[in-house]
Structure formats: C-alpha cells, structure tokens
Structure 1
Amino acid sequence: MKSGGSAKMKDVAELAGVSIKTVSRVLNNEPHVQDKLRRKVKEAVERLNYVPSQSARSLRGNRSYDINLISHSRNSPYINSIQFGAVIACQKLGYQLSISLFEELNGKPIDAIRAAFEALMLHRKPDAVMLVAPYAGNEKIDYVLQELGIPVVRIGPVDISHRGVLVEIDDHKASIELTQHLIGLGHKRVGFVRGIEDQRATHVRYSGFCVAMDAAGLSVEESLVRKGEFDFESGFEAGEYFIGLEAPPTAVFCSNDDMAAGVVSACTVSGVKVPEEMSVVGFDDADVATRMRPLLTTIRQPLDELGALAVRELIAQLNTNGKAEPKRIVLGHEFIERDTTAPSPVD
C-alpha cells in the first residue's frame, strides 16, 4: 500500500474498507454519507497522506477545484491571516487557493471591473471567489459577480449579506465592549480614529463606540474624532493631533491595530506615557499588537478561522448544488487586555 503522497483513491478505499465511490463522496464533502464511514475515509486519507489530483477531477467535470482570493494589497496583515486559514481548509478538502491582486479596484468603472473578472474566469477558471474588505462590500463588484454567475464568499462586515456566503464577527458588539473597558477605567474624554470611509467596518465600529459612550452619559466630541486610513501613518498623524490639543483625550479608540500602533508611537516621540497619561486600544489583534511596546489592548478577530470557515461553507454548498446560497455566519470575538490601558489620570 502506498504512502508519502503517492497513494491513490483505491488505496484509501482499501484501507478504509469502503468503495471508491464513497471515498469520492467524502473527499467532495457531499451529504448523506454515514458519519462512521466518513471518519474511516478521513483516517485513511491522513494515514496515507493522500492528496486528491485536482487535474484529474477537473477533467471529469466542469470544475477547477480552485477558489480565488481577491486581494487589494500585497502587504495586508489582515488578508494574510485570512489567507492562511483558507489555504489550510482548501488543502484538507482537496481544493487549492489561488490569489489575484487587483489593486485600486474600488475606484475603477464597472467596465474595468468586468474586464478584470472576465480575464480571471478565462485564465484561472475558479469555482468561486473569496472577497475581503474593501472589495467584499463593493456594489459594482457584486453586480459583476452576479452578471457573470460567479459564486462568492465574503468576509465581513459588509451590507451585502443577501447573496452568497458571509462570515464575520459582530464588530458593533465588540466595539461597545472595547469602549466600555475604557469607560470602566474612568475615561470620559475619549478620542476615536476612524478607518477608510468606504469600508463598513469604519462605520460599524464608530457606531458601537457612540452607543457605549451615550449609554454611559458621555458625549462624543467632534474635535476628538479623526479620519484614518487603517495604516500606521494615519494613526501617527492622529496621535500627534490629539497630543497637540490644549486638553488631550485621556484615551483613544483606534479602528484597527496599525493605527493604534501609530498613536502609541506618536506618544513615545512626544514623551507622552502610555498608558499612564493616555490609554490606547486597537481592533483585530494583528501581529503588531504583540510586537509593539507596550503590548496593545485590542479585540481579537479569529482571522484564520474566518478564512477556514468561509472555505468550508463555500465548498459544502458548491458540492451540494453548485452555487453559494445566501448564508450569514457570525463567529465570536475576544477582548484582549494588555498594557496600553490604565485608569484615567483625570477624575
């Protein structure tokens, strides 16, 4: 019996004591297979290190067994974390994850967007595409995907939840929780750094912040709300602005971790102590949150699991009916308290 990646489907069937057809149904994640048989097949696959041949499966049907992740940036930590989970899930299910880099697609006319996806389908022929922010919520991209009949899975938060699979956390609830943490430490004047304005996460997180402040009887001062770009540079600029105010906020809520790192860096350069003089929180629990000093208090999104679950749900639907039916899945988040928050220095 073969192993080490050279095993064939018949070897898996022999070891599991089932038919080749049953092995095929399990590998394709098809329904109506007894749990006992499914376990046997998966155990045999792991023991033999069996890897399904995508080219052979493609020749037997009209599917490529490829899911294409559309990226807007070549260096996005957010997308990279999601991509890792998606790759692992694809490998386990006999698919491959391919990556297409479409930079600045948000600002292009619909004809250019259509041309980009037509070229993708011509050359790559993916079974479906995966969209993350900012493209996950782009209405023109959504229109083109419908027009071309391309199944899609989105990772939120986005408003387009009525078509295809959507996997997300509750950003609004998480933002309330993060703001309540600052309020509980006695902070009354809290600054807020928004993200990119065409991304729903910017608005949902700000809404949660405002709800929590209002519930505590605290006002959101317009002068303490700054625009950001979800990057370190805009966070640094916001930090410099807050520090330069006659009465700086005692805490700052940043819409992601990169901007929070920028605010903390601006404080360091200016001699403002974090968290003794100014508390700072972020969102996402990206790598920078544990690489910066002090360590960042933030909300952890299970980014790798978001990517993995998106792939698993999408493949299950493709194997059942060949398309992605509307479905919204909400995963839990985690509040992570580290070293950038402390009681307010002002009563």
Structure 2
Amino acid sequence: MSEVKRHKTHKKANISDVAKKAGVSIKTVSRFLNQEKYIREETKEKVISAIKALNYSPNVQARGLRGERSYMIGLFVDDLSGDYISKVQRGILSGCEKEGSHLVVEVLSERGSAAKVRDLLSCVRFDGVVLTPPVCDDMAVLNALRDAAIPVVRLGAGIPVPDMALAEIDDYQAARDMTDYLISLGHHSIGFIKGDPSHGSAHERERGYIHALQAAGIAVKSELIVQGMFCHSGGREAAATLLALDPRPTAIFSSNDEMAIGAMASIDAQGMKIPDDISIVGFDDHVMSQIVLPPLTTIHQPIEQMATEAVSLLGKVTKQDKSMLQTRIFLEYDLKVRKSAAPLSC
C-alpha cells in the first residue's frame, strides 16, 4: 500500500491577521499601508511589529482594487542600455520602495509609439509614468498618456508641456560653466562634440557652449562642432574629425561622457597624451569617468536623485494634489575637476 505524504500548507498572513496581532482595526492597518497621515507613532510601531512578526507582504493588485491607487509606476525609455538608464532605474526603485509601489519598464524604441502605449494602458493602470529622453519629447506618447489622464514626470525634456511635471538640471548653464572652465585654462580653440538632436539636453548643452565662447569674445567656428549622437563610436569618430583639422583644437568638450571616452580612445590611437597634447572634458559623470586614465573632468548630474524625486512627485499627484503636475524641479549639478584637462602650455 502506497503511502501518501501530506504536507502542511502555511496560510499566508493577511491584513486581518496583522490587525488582530497589532490590536488595531483593519481600517487602521489599511491607512498605514496607504501611507496616510495622522496615525499615532505608537500605533505605527504596533502595526510594523505585527507585519514583521507575521512576515506579511501586501498584495499590490489587491491594494489597487480597494482604493484609487494601483501602486504601479511606469518607466518608458527608448533603450535599456547605458549608465544613464541604470541610474534612472535605481532612483525610481528607491522612490518606489518609499512609496510602497512597483516599477514597470516599457521600451519604446520607435518614435510615435502611441498604439503601443494605449495597448499597455489597457492592461496596466499606472499611478504615474516617468519618461526619459527622447521619449519625453515624443508628442504621440505624451498625447496618449494625456488622453488616459495618467500623471507624467519628464526627465531632461526639451519641449515645454505645461500639464506635465519636469525634473532636470540646467544643462545650458552647466555647459557654459564647463566651457568657461576650459577658457580659464587658456583654451580658445575648443572642439565640441554634440549629442543626439532628439534629446532636448543636446541642444541646451550646445547653446551653453556657444554662448560661453561669444561672451569671452571667441569666434564660434562651425568646423569645431561635430555630431556624436551620445554614443561611444560617435565620440570616437567625432574626435578623429576634430584631430584632422589644421590647426587642431587644444581642447575638446564632449557633451556626454560616453562620447568623451570614445574620443579619448581616438586620441590615444593617434599617439597623443591627455592632457599634455590635448585636454578633454565630458558631461554626466558616467560610472567610467573616474576609472579611465586620466580620470575625466565632467559635469555631475544627480540622475538617481532626479528619478527618486519624480516618483515622490507622482505620489503627491496621486494623493489628489493635481497642482503638482505644473512642477518643474531643478536639481544642482557639480563641475568635477579631475585630470583630463590642463592649462594650455605656451
């Protein structure tokens, strides 16, 4: 006779169990989970203790059905690769942890992906969506989200949209500061590697470079401005173009670090030394900027903090403060002076 082994199944704790163990009402536990205000600290401690003791994990979908929030935050990007997007995801996840929300990432690799957005919105009810460049300037995507009444925070956008919040640094002023720094080192012939024209920040950084030269009485030469498309290969090719000029520039300002690192490879391939033969600076403070030799002078922008702030802002909008949709958050940037730029030797 075969023996049938019976295994005990452990019932997963629910909100009622937490309320009973904490000695409070189910409504109080629900208010705590929804991060509502005006709950006494003593009560919070009882609920937290009960949650830990029971190893209680709230069901996000069930929470969404009980209230107006879904506890789902969307992140729409055009490409998942790269240091920038990694930092954005870390920042959003940090914000989601504080808000008790979950992150859903969607890749919109083609412009005008309104149909794909509408299909996604028919399946997932988002509390809000964070958009990165260039998706944040795709009007078809913006209109699809607007039609669905989804709160949006855009990171580093170029096109002004009055009913969607924005988190960014002052790319224009940061680029002016970096160009001024090179000018202070004695450089007047400064090559500029510009970024993807579909990104608003690319235009602002180029504008900052041009205005800094003009303010210093230095002629702006079109041959010193080369397209790099915000990628490593683009930076390498752009640097090769600049180095072929006669005379070549004494410094290069790459409008992102990925292109700057590509440019450094091109400079090295020609047997030149940085910064002895030519100075180079970047923008973004990429994870590799401190590892390359020499370490790269760059603009640090707080990408993770920007993304965390975006989630916090969406939480406020979800809690009926619709005025937050008009918010424009400016975060501070830093010029990180390292060893890739030096005074021009006479």
Distance 1:12 1:309 in 2: 31
Change (3 A) 1:56 1:140: closer
Which residue type is aligned with residue 210 of structure 1? I
Decide which structure has the larger Cα Rg and report it: 2
Q: Does 1:306 align with 2:312?
A: no
Runs of 4+ in 1 over 4 A off after TM superposition: 6-23, 34-51, 321-324
Which residue type is aligned with residue 338 of structure 1? R
- Alpha-carbon RMSD: 2.7
Change (3 A) 1:62 1:318: closer
Q: Does 1:343 align with 2:343?
A: yes
Q: Does 1:155 align with 2:155?
A: yes
Counterpart of 1:276 in structure 2 is 276
Deviation at 1:61, TM superposition (A): 3.2
Change (3 A) 1:314 1:41: farther
Distance 2:224 2:88 in 1: 32
Distance 2:62 2:284 in 1: 40
42-51 or 179-188, larger mean C-alpha shift: 42-51
Question: Where does the alignment leave 5 or more consecutive residues of structure 1 unmatched?
Answer: 1-5
Once the two structures are superposed, residues 98-136 of structure 1 have per-residue CA deviations (whole angstroms, 9 ceiling, x without a partner) of: 1111212x2x4xxxx221111111222322211010111
Select 2:107's aligned residue among 101, 107, 118. Answer: 101
Question: Where does the alignment leave 5 or more consecutive residues of structure 2 unmatched?
Answer: 1-11
Distance 2:149 2:19 in 1: 35
Deviation at 1:202, TM superposition (A): 0.8
Once the two structures are superposed, residues 298-342 of structure 1 have per-residue CA deviations (whole angstroms, 9 ceiling, x without a partner) of: 011111111111001111211235796221111111111112111
Select 2:85's aligned residue among 57, 69, 79. Answer: 79
Matches within 5 A, 1:201-220: 201-220=201-220
Counterpart of 2:118 in structure 1 is 118
318-327 or 45-54, larger mean C-alpha shift: 45-54
- What count of residue pairs does the alignment treat as equivalent? 334
Deviation at 1:212, TM superposition (A): 1.5
Deviation at 1:177, TM superposition (A): 1.3
Once the two structures are superposed, residues 63-92 of structure 1 have per-residue CA deviations (whole angstroms, 9 ceiling, x without a partner) of: 421111112113132111111110121022
Once the two structures are superposed, residues 139-172 of structure 1 have per-residue CA deviations (whole angstroms, 9 ceiling, x without a partner) of: 2222222222222111114333412221111111
Distance 1:95 1:315 in 2: 9
Change (3 A) 1:70 1:122: same
Matches within 5 A, 1:150-189: 150-189=150-189
Q: What TM-score results when the alignment is normalised by the length of structure 2?
A: 0.87
Residues 26 and 33, structure 1, Cα contact 8 Å, conserved in 2: no
Matches within 5 A, 1:21-100: 21=27, 23-30=29-36, 32-33=37-38, 51-100=57-106
Residues 29 and 316, structure 1, Cα contact 8 Å, conserved in 2: no
Which residue type is aligned with residue 57 of structure 1? R
Counterpart of 2:199 in structure 1 is 199
Counterpart of 1:3 in structure 2 is none
Distance 1:160 1:20 in 2: 45
Matches within 5 A, 1:296-335: 296-321=296-321, 325-335=325-335
Q: Does 1:228 align with 2:228?
A: yes
Residues 318 and 324, structure 1, Cα contact 8 Å, conserved in 2: no
Which residue type is aligned with residue 320 of structure 2? T
